[in-house]
Structure 1
Amino acid sequence: MTTSPAERPGTRYDIAVLGAGPAGLAAAVAAAGQGAGTVLIDAGARPGGQYWRHREGDEGALHHGWGHFRRLRRGLSAHGADYRPGHCVWHVERTEAGFTVHATREGSPRTVRAKAVIVATGAYDRQLPFPGWTTPGVFTAGAVQALLKGHGVPAGRRIAVAGTGPFLLPVAAGLAEAGVRVVGVFEAGLPTAFGRHPLATLRNLPKLAEGAGYLGTLLRHRVPYRTRTTVVAAHGTATVTGATVARLDQRWRIVPGSTREIDCDTVAVGYGFTPQTEIPLQLGCAMRRDADGSLVARVDARQRASVDGVYVAGEACGVGGAQLSAVEGELAGLHAGYATTGSAPDRRRLAGLLRRRAAQRSFAAALHRAYPVPDGWQTWLERDTTVCRCEEVTAGAIREAVDDLGATDPRAVKLYARPGMGLCQGRVCGYATTCLVARANGRRPTAEDLRGMATRPIAHPLTLGALAAGDDSGGDDSGGG
């Protein structure tokens, strides 16, 4: 792998790839393989993103598809791509010559210029609030997995894993294999609904085998797996001392008389994922509301966004897992490479990728239908349940902004009651706030509702000093550090 081989003033790239997860790695390798001058920019210390997060010297004991990662890592070096770890991108702007990517590295400004941009920024855990979810010891499922993969540290000793979606399985299985007592996996949905999509299943049998492997691990470690059940409250003050779980009906309302308390010191919760779309929004890309309720960028068959020179791959254009992300990344890298270098398209390679993308997307669509998030979760909330952790805005305050102040959309509620105005800028509470406001107004959330909580002129926190410093090295386009 190459790290900044051409740190000299005036360096301009054909393609800047943002994010070094499955989509970004595949895009960078494909683009560089076409002869395009490619830079891969990522906030992490090592490539792999959240999916292939690892420690130094780790050879993938806790990872699925590690061989694919190693091949991509070798390809990155073999094709001479410039890899920039530790670079936090906070803004991308359109210029006459292409795009200027603004980032910081260890607090200092870094600037990269390129003809085209591939956005592969991934996603993070979607959270639904519930009483006690701000108690220390309540984590996102992704955070628990990141601690284990990235540092070898279990988040607790007795962990309850709750939420919905297949991601709960590898999280729980990884914890169990690491010696943690997983007191239960509480799946709010009914995974057997996936059986109503046999065609998608047959086209993706390896994924079913992967899921079966995780279930086998849970069985071997005697981890209870409960469906139509979830954690509806966490207990404790200084730390979690237990949780309340409950059976849910089809609309996710608590079944009367079904609640019970469990003994745990940690709760890991995840209800799907929220794509990181700050950069497409900054660039004015057309967006849409996806089947899972997320705001995502619109792309065409070549992974091109609505803005010329912008490509989007992976979760930012629709949550579908690492395999789909890698295929989309390769397609984006190839097409960006063809466009910037004028090289002839490899029709056979493209046809194979398009078939794989279609199969993966059908599987992702089936998963979204099998693991919906009905709005019955809102009935778990009490009036004083915190929704926005940063500004300590409660569910009651959000409803008052609608009922008493006449707010009709999340942006108005944001101005009246301040959810989304704190440090995270709505990354954690944005989805929940949008759903609460829409339901209070008697309708379903729209793409415009989600945009109101997702648009941010600064995609990553930075200091005022770094902002005032402007370009690094007096306009050094290399941005090397």
Structure 2
Amino acid sequence: MTHQDLCIIGAGPAGMDAAIAARQAGLSVTVLDEALRPGGQIYRDVTRADDARLKILGPDYAAGRKLAEAFAASDSTYLSGATVWHVEQDASGYALSYSQNGASHLVRADALIVATGAVERPMPLPGWTLPGVTTTGALQILLKTAGTVAEDVVLIGCGPLQLLLAAQMVAAGRPPRAILETVPNANYLSALKHLPGALRGMGYLTKGLTLLRKVRAAGVPIYRDVQDISLDGDSQLEAVSFSAGGRSHRIETGTAGLHHGVVPNQQITRLMRCEHVWNDAQQAFQPVTDSYGETSLPGLYVAGDGAGIRGARSAALAGRIAALRVAEKAGRPASPDMPRLRRELAKDAAVRPFLETLYAPAAQALAPRDEVMICRCEEVTAGQIRAAAKANAPGPNQVKSFLRTGMGPCQGRTCGLAVTGLIAETSGRSPGETGYFRIRPPLKPLSLSELAAFEPDTE
């Protein structure tokens, strides 16, 4: 069993920059990463991407290679393919149980930075469980890891990721069949009040317009203010039906990508019983943190999108800030870079209110029809959840007792926010009052053989 000054879970921009800063401050660091190579979701597989793929994915993705190279040179202990399945706090700090190469191990640290990023928001629509229907994020993962671009794709939803993937598909020579944008026309007017602040992050607005021009130049149809979406088919996706511009439409296709934003991955902070709060602007829960990313548990920090959605640049800054704070608490000199890092973080986040107002989650997905499947693991519909709420189940954990929602392998990652939203809608309470699932170990499915093959590490 090893003991480190700092453990970091996740090797995306927040985790890598935190490790670099911590090593520069003289701390011993172990980074546990479920992936086989560093990069996280945003820079997934950047270390082995060839020039052609870098060109398709764009300069923001390619920039991750320099960060990954700096991380590799930091001399941090990097455990790839390591799935953290339990975290505990004790007198000596934090103990992390993880599975790697078919066996379980344990590592301890004085401090912990959770840099597990975000997950895509559930978008339950009629037919979303059909083969051929996936998420926009999954389609991008195929492109990053295998250079594979699905054909005849209809992209449904809203958000920067949807537009980015569409532009990347155009660059790869396989533009999407169509984009169905769920942003109501009224959102454009609502977002205007945040435009002056967003101009501090003018680079993001310019990038968005550039991506949009590329997609339009490729002749990709974009339907605005799309409503009444249905994914049609018997044993697989055959068509997408919807209304837009006062007309009904139907596009025959075998592949659709759903997306209406990402939300903080709160599994570890929920497991640790950290205090959480409902972020109404982002329509998601997030852990309560101070300006350094420290949670309600001393020594446990969250850096990056897991503390609230801000993007890759902000994630890296937040990771560095958290690591420098850990080093300072461990007795190292306070970093003179801290004020500058805070200013850069505030500037980078200035565009968020504009984006959050413009790309608010689709109303149809927040309040799906009764027959729509919500919990895919246990096959529970929206109507069943509403009925349980009407039977005085006050929150997700009580509905779990009734219906087993959130008890499958994903532990609510796919359905959690939708379950909370349905109960809140039915009861008339806010999502914050309604609450979220209580998360228990193991965080990810664990085989008995992995547990039985526990191998204590030695100092």
Contact 2:198 2:351 in 1 (8 A): yes
In the other structure, the counterpart of 2:68 is 73
- 1:197-237: CA deviation from partner (whole Å, max 9, x where unpaired): 13322210111122122112202211122321157111122
In the other structure, the counterpart of 1:178 is 172
Residue 415 of structure 1, aligned match among 401, 406, 409: 401
- Aligned-residue offset at 1:362: 2.8
Unmatched tracts of structure 2, length 5 or more: none
1:355 aligns with 2:343: yes
- Aligned-residue offset at 1:469: 4.4
- 1:264-297: CA deviation from partner (whole Å, max 9, x where unpaired): 2211001111321121222232111122121111
- 1:284-327: CA deviation from partner (whole Å, max 9, x where unpaired): 32111122121111111122111111111011110111111111
Contact 2:195 2:354 in 1 (8 A): no
Structure 1 pair 140/477, CA: closer, same or farther in 2 (3 Å)? farther
Contact 2:121 2:259 in 1 (8 A): yes
Runs of 4+ in 1 over 6 A off after TM superposition: none
Letter in 2 for 1:175: M
In the other structure, the counterpart of 2:320 is 330
- 1:70-129: CA deviation from partner (whole Å, max 9, x where unpaired): 332232233311111110111111122111111101321122111110100011111221
Provide the C-alpha distance between the structure 2 equivalents of 1:229 and 1:305, rounded to a whole number of angstroms: 39
Structure 1 pair 246/378, CA: closer, same or farther in 2 (3 Å)? farther
In the other structure, the counterpart of 1:390 is 377
In the other structure, the counterpart of 1:425 is 411
- 1:437-458: CA deviation from partner (whole Å, max 9, x where unpaired): 1111123311x5342x262332
- Aligned-residue offset at 1:414: 1.7
Residue 142 of structure 1, aligned match among 129, 137, 155: 137
CA RMSD of superposed structures (Å): 2.1
Provide the C-alpha distance between the structure 2 equivalents of 1:364 and 1:53, rounded to a whole number of angstroms: 23
In the other structure, the counterpart of 1:3 is none
Contact 1:11 1:477 in 2 (8 A): yes
Give TM-score, length-normalised by structure 1. Answer: 0.88
Provide the C-alpha distance between the structure 2 equivalents of 1:142 and 1:71, rounded to a whole number of angstroms: 23
In the other structure, the counterpart of 2:37 is 46
- Aligned-residue offset at 1:418: 2.1
In the other structure, the counterpart of 1:7 is none
- Aligned-residue offset at 1:380: 5.0
Provide the C-alpha distance between the structure 2 equivalents of 1:312 and 1:170, rounded to a whole number of angstroms: 26
In the other structure, the counterpart of 1:455 is 439
Letter in 1 for 2:285: L
| Sequence identity (%) | 33
Partner SS state of residue 203, structure 1: helix
Letter in 1 for 2:192: G
- Aligned-residue offset at 1:54: 2.3
Contact 1:304 1:332 in 2 (8 A): yes
Letter in 1 for 2:257: A
Residue 212 of structure 1, aligned match among 209, 213, 216: 209
Q: How many residues align?
A: 451
1:96 aligns with 2:94: no
Provide the C-alpha distance between the structure 2 equivalents of 1:41 and 1:432, rounded to a whole number of angstroms: 30
Give TM-score, length-normalised by structure 2. Answer: 0.93
Structure 1 pair 106/313, CA: closer, same or farther in 2 (3 Å)? same
Contact 1:99 1:114 in 2 (8 A): yes
Provide the C-alpha distance between the structure 1 equivalents of 2:210 and 2:107, rounded to a whole number of angstroms: 43
Provide the C-alpha distance between the structure 2 equivalents of 1:63 and 1:13, rounded to a whole number of angstroms: 37
Contact 1:233 1:245 in 2 (8 A): yes
